[in-house]
Amino acid sequence: MMPRFIGMTPRLVAAGLFATLLWLPAAQANTERRPTRLDRKITMMVVKYLQKNHYTLPEIDDDVSEQLFDEYFEELDPNRHYFLQSDLDEFSVYRESLDDMVEKGDLDFGFKVYERFIERVTERLEYVKSIINDDFDFTIDEDILLDRKDLPWPKTIAELDIAWRQRIKNQLLVAHLLDEEGAKEEAEKEKEPAVNDTEDPVKDENAAESENTAEVGIIDDTPQEAVVKQLEQFLKFRDENDNADILEIYLSTLTRIFDPHTTYLNWRQLEDFDISMRLRLQGIGATLTYKDGYTEVVSIIPGGPANKQGALKPGHKIIAVGQGDGEMMNVINMQLNKVVRQIRGAKGTKVRLSVIESLHSTPKTISIVRDEVKLTEGEAKGEVHKVELTDGRFINVGVIDVPSFYADFDALKRGDPDAKSTTVDVRRLIDEMVEKDEIAGIIIDLRSNGGGSLEEAISLSGLFVPSGPIVQVRRVGGMVDVREDLDDGFAYDLPMIVMVNQLSASASEIFSGAIQDYQRGLIVGSVGTHGKGTVQTVLKLDRMRSFRDKKPGAIKFTMAKFYRVTGASTQKKGIAPDIAFPSFLDHMELGEAELDHVLKWDTIQSQPLNRNFTQITPYVEELHERSDIRLAKNELYQHLVEDIAEFGKRRAEKYITLNREKRIKLREEEEYWTERSQAVLGSDRDNDDDHEDA
């Protein structure tokens, strides 16, 4: 929550800060958005290209038009919080003509509905402001429906008001309980005796700073202010969306009707996609997040320009950005992805950042020369674990965490020796472990690896299996391409395990499927993998003559399905592990089969395999029995099974109470189960979904 200040000093400081920003040009909301000639050309190209090149060779007809009509409203308002049935009725004149319109590049419907969406969100904000200070009664028994997506669209404003009154009541209840919990924690801290038995000047200085902060009197927003601010921010971000954003939303709604993995990428998304595959960018080398209206520095990437310059620190809030010696642009309350685009830039160019350390500090300007930044956090990583055998001996086991199947395709084509590649990195890690630690086995961790490069999945598989087929790829028209590992033999013949879960998808399923089909290693994990058995490619539109010198984005579309060498597809069914363990993910709708418009499961002809090595299959039953015996004796594991069952029970709840006392009891129960889970699993990995590298 954004801190606010009480007393003269903070007001003066805040006034000084924002007075400093008055001369800065600010990002403006879009008062009028209309499709441009470029938008129309992009639309026609996307439609024309997909009709000829998508795996299903789709026809865009009246049926597609009706689906696009319904799903665009649902995409903008999935929980029925803003649109009325009358909005859909008003726009129903488009219902059966959208197919013809998109073929002509006509985006009238997409842009007009988006403007209506902004109007409806604005109306909801005004309604929230009108009721936010009402006296909500938290003593009565009342429940709120958690998921409204299957409800009919509200027919009247009054019906929508009822839903919103419940929604605001729920948000206020949550905010009040959080405030009470925070106050309780502060009171407990105050009871603790102060410890200061040294005369360290650094500690003394920090103590003085804390006293000054307390004197200033910073407090959090009230629950009412926090709820209003949240919706204001939601509206602001949607209203700042430009043509590229709206085009992406509308065209991707269309393309996902063909299958859930076919999308249009605007130029910003394409840039992020390229970075995720190359694991490198040109910028300053800082991980940023959006917090309470500010772009905040989360961390500095080692070896990057910001790290070498030294002035930018974690916790700094970026309030303005300038290119070279040009004017500074105010970026307070600007969407993170748009701030990031201002900070990234060509190697050798200068960017200036105006930053503050806190809301009551003086802004300072930091100049950084951009350079190439390597994103090492996305690379494969390895560590060695000592494992005790049943006879009391210890062996070293190498664990390789593979977060994605990445490859810098352009650098690889150039023969760049520093080109990023999953296979190159994994091979280097294992070689080091074999040489230094004499590992006796390998674990490849593909949990939550959503896939990536098909070529990398094939080449990585080749490190562990002899030469032969790895995967079969069926393209448009039914032509099957058997993709093989052409190396003579395999690089490593160590015993191996592959770890998977429901978020292991696509290239992860190719790799784990090949290991299982060759009976080369043991697949362990949750009940199954994601079940994404399709192959996508990316067509960058700027490679076409009519789009040169522009930023038209790209089409990521499904051009093939892949099949295991046994002939079975992984589509919808995924890879079943040899040994399965219960997981919290079992109770989430995560698999391919849960998505709309998925392609069907089928089979093709199998391929002969060379298994002239020790196979895992004869040992699977015994390994399974040993695992069951160990787990039956493991008290922590039994607790985990109970925790997972309780989690599934809570996930199935469709309503939640708005009665304060019942909610407190519910929260206490959740805290109990959370503490139990943490005791078993330890702390979860940091969630960096809302972070971007610049």
Q: Tell which CATH classification among 3.90.226.10, 3.40.640.10, 3.40.50.10470, 1.10.645.10 matches the domain 377-620.
A: 3.90.226.10
- In this predicted model, which residue has the larger pLDDT, 359 or 388? 388
- Tell the residue number behind the tokens 């903070």, with chain if given: 10
Sign of CA dihedral 161, 163, 164, 170: positive
**pLDDT-derived band at 186, boundaries 50, 70, 90:** low
**pLDDT-derived band at 181, boundaries 50, 70, 90:** confident
| pLDDT digits 0-9 by tens, 279-338 | 888 999 999 998 878 899 999 998 899 999 999 999 999 999 999 999 999 998 888 988
The amino acid present at 198, given as its one-letter code, is: T
Angle at 308 between CA 341 and CA 403, to 5 degrees: 60
Report how far residue 376's alpha carbon sits from residue 347's, in angstroms, rounded to the nearest whole number: 18
517 is catalytic: yes
Task: Measure CA of the first residue to CA of the last residue in the chain; give whole Å.
Answer: 24
> What does the block give as tokens for 17?
């800060």
CB-facing half-sphere around the CA of 379: CA atoms within 13 A? 18
Report how far residue 667's alpha carbon sits from residue 670's, in angstroms, rounded to the nearest whole number: 5
- In this predicted model, which residue has the larger pLDDT, 482 or 199? 482
Q: Is the pLDDT of residue 564 over 80?
A: yes
Instruction: Give the CA distances from residue 457 to residues 28, 242, 507, in Å, rounded to whole numbers and listed in that order.
Output: 45, 37, 5
Q: What is residue 60's predicted lDDT score, i.e. its pLDDT? A: 96
Architecture of the domain spanning 268-374: Roll (2.30)
Q: Is the pLDDT of residue 215 over 60?
A: no
> What does the block give as tokens for 253?
């709604």
The domain segmentation of the chain, as residue ranges, is: 32-173+224-258, 268-374, 377-620, 637-693
Report how far residue 295's alpha carbon sits from residue 13's, in angstroms, rounded to the nearest whole number: 20
| pLDDT digits 0-9 by tens, 588-599 | 888 999 999 999
Q: Mean pLDDT throughout 148-163?
A: 96
| CB contact at 8 A, 447 and 526 | no
CB-facing half-sphere around the CA of 461: CA atoms within 13 A? 31
Q: What is residue 357's predicted lDDT score, i.e. its pLDDT? A: 87
Q: What DSSP letter does each residue of 312-378 carry, written as one string?
A: --TT-EEEEEEETTS-EEE-TT--HHHHHHHH---TT-EEEEEEESSTTS--EEEEEE-EEEE-GGG
> What does the block give as tokens for 462?
């080749």
Which entry of 169, 317, 374, 532 is annotated as an active-site residue?
A: 532
Which entry of 252, 506, 508, 512 is annotated as an active-site residue?
A: 506
DSSP H or E stretch at residue 445:
strand 441-445
245 is catalytic: no
Q: How far is CA 367 from the centre of its chain?
A: 30
169 is catalytic: no
Q: Mean pLDDT throughout 414-423?
A: 87
Q: What is the CA radius of gyration of the chain?
A: 28
> What does the block give as tokens for 104?
């002509």
Q: What is residue 268's predicted lDDT score, i.e. its pLDDT? A: 92
**pLDDT-derived band at 678, boundaries 50, 70, 90:** confident
Q: Is the pLDDT of residue 204 over 50?
A: no
**pLDDT-derived band at 414, boundaries 50, 70, 90:** confident
On the 0-12 / 13-18 / 19+ scale of CB atoms within 10 A, 430 is buried
| pLDDT digits 0-9 by tens, 448-486 | 999 999 999 999 999 999 889 999 999 998 999 999 988
> What does the block give as tokens for 8?
């003269």
State the pTM of this model: 0.83
Q: What is residue 58's predicted lDDT score, i.e. its pLDDT? A: 96
Which entry of 245, 259, 401, 517 is annotated as an active-site residue?
A: 517
Q: What is residue 197's predicted lDDT score, i.e. its pLDDT? A: 39
Q: What is residue 416's predicted lDDT score, i.e. its pLDDT? A: 83
